[in-house]
Structure 1
Amino acid sequence: MTVESLLARNRAWSHRMCCGDADFFARLARQQTPAYLWIGCSDSRVPSNQILDLAPGEVFTHRNIANVVASSDLNCLSVIQFAVDVLQVRHIMVVGHYGCSGIRAALEGQRLGLVDHWLAHVGAVYTKHQPALMALPAAQRVDRLCELNVAEQFHNVCQTHAVRDTWARGQPLSVHGWVYGLQDGLLSELGLTASSPHAADGTYQDALKDMATPHFKARQPTASDGRFEDISRSNEEAVSSAESALRPGTKKQSSKSGSTASRCAA
């Protein structure tokens, strides 16, 4: 695919968005008010908005190789502080993914060049949990290290001054640790959710104990989960609203959106 093709795809995407919602970009340009901060891996197969089925403007995102949160990384720390202090997000999700090549490189001690310095953070996670990892069959070690790395980065987020200060002033904020499956497109929970310093320390220790057992398995939300039902209902309402707006005879555009209407009809 050429660069020209990418630009053409952008124009087509913009056209589709305007046809579905004439005021979408006008609203988006005025401000961003995301409720979520996603800290994930740079892997191109793990895009936050698409995975969560959320539109642009709904997820503030920070990504790096192997979803690391390091106390020396001013980029990540600045993102966290901006998210909680300025955007006042209500949830931070640390999201790893199974089959992560950065995790595999750290586990196998691969020499890749400059990135080796970055992956030393993951190497430290491997060293810390090496006995439990080596007790597993070789085929399971990469994915278990992916899970353990999420736990450690979850803990690192909860230890940041920005998050601790947010909790201290009583501002609502929950931190979560999830893992994503490339083979099925599903997010799974690792027993890592905290809304206070005490809860953060306790859930972290409990999760590590669980992950130290050979038969640990991440949990996928089900239809009986209240949170899942709320999300599903919200999606259904959004789809229903969009379908209604596109039915013949339904007023699609506001009086302010004449230029967009013309563009959609073109």
Structure 2
Amino acid sequence: MIDRFLEGNKTFIEGEFTEHRDYYRDLATGQSPTVLWIGCSDSRVAPERITSAKAGEIFVHRNIGNIVRIGDWNFATILEYAVKHLKVSDIVVCGHSDCGAIKALASDKESNEAYIPLWLSNAAVARATVETKMPKPTKAEDLRAWHRMIEEENVKLQLENLRTYPIVREAEKEGKVTVHGLYFDLETGKLDQIA
């Protein structure tokens, strides 16, 4: 598999990189993205790919379930760098359909894993909120819609968590940053703003 990626890199160099050499030369000296994108690690949801963004336009942080954990020093560092140094004007939290993290969160099965359930506890309120509106269905076709409700609710929850960070609250208050909740549908390829 790595050989395929190395060959793909040669194709990139011979094509895109060579055709836009000046653009990539400028990128080699620094970045100035306008967006901080907080997305899921899911391999099907690559931000640059689904938005047709160029290299250097999006500063990306990805994790299982597009979670913004409250009090996370790693995440706080990313926020501080994006807002204070890169001066991004927009912060996006993007969820997506068929999210494995949400399926795991929605499952009632006992897990023998150590880290995933602990991490997903940061999204548990999203499931609880949806359950107050609609109990977990038993039919497969209804379950899919229920999962989507949790996926979308999770984006809204993570936006709330994002705003617990003083750097985001201050930047929003001063009009330096706008926060967005997006949702990507894998079946249609459509990206929608949901919050």
Using structure 2 for the length normalisation, give the TM-score.
0.90
Runs of at least 5 residues in structure 1 that lack an aligned partner in the other structure: 193-266
Determine helix, strand or coil for the equivalent of 2:134: helix
1:145 and 2:150 matched = yes
Matches within 5 A, 1:48-87: 48-87=47-86
Q: 1:147 deviation in Å?
A: 0.4
TM-score by length of 1: 0.67
Q: Is the 8 A contact 2:123 2:157 kept in 1?
A: no
The Cα of 1:135 is off from its aligned counterpart by 7.2
Kept after mapping to 1: 8 A contact 2:70/2:164: no
Aligned match of 2:128: 127
Which of 1 and 2 has higher RCO (CA within 8 Å, sep 6+)?
A: 2
The alignment status of 1:39 with 2:38, answered yes or no, reads yes
Question: For the residues of structure 2 that align with 1:27 and 1:160, how far apart are their CA atoms?
Answer: 32
Matched with 2:18 is 19
For 1:163, the aligned partner's letter is V
- After superposition, the C-alpha distances for 1:73-116 in whole angstroms (9 at most, x for unaligned) are 22222111211111010000100001101101101134151211
Q: Is the 8 A contact 1:35 1:90 kept in 2?
A: yes
Aligned to 1:172: 176
Output one character per residue of 1:204-247: Cα deviation in whole Å (capped at 9) or x when no partner.
xxxxxxxxxxxxxxxxxxxxxxxxxxxxxxxxxxxxxxxxxxxx
Residue by residue over 1:148-204, the C-alpha shift from the partner in whole angstroms, topping out at 9 and shown as x without a partner, is: 000010111122111112234x252100001000011110121x2xxxxxxxxxxxx
What count of residue pairs does the alignment treat as equivalent? 189
Matched, 1:103 2:102: yes
Q: Distance in 2 between matches of 1:116 and 1:157?
A: 21
Q: Provide the C-alpha distance between the structure 2 equivalents of 1:36 and 1:81, rounded to a whole number of angstroms.
A: 13
Secondary structure, in 3 states, of the residue corresponding to 2:45?
Answer: coil
User: What is the percentage of aligned positions where both structures have the same residue?
Assistant: 29
User: Distance in 1 between the 2:36 and 2:101 partners?
Assistant: 22
Partners of 1:7 and 1:139 in 2: CA distance: 38
Give the conservation status (yes or no) of the 8 Å contact 1:133–1:144.
no
Q: 2:57 and 2:143 mapped to 1: Cα distance?
A: 39
Post-superposition, which runs of at least 4 consecutive aligned residues in structure 1 deviate over 2 A? 135-139
Tell me which moved more, 136-145 or 47-56: 136-145
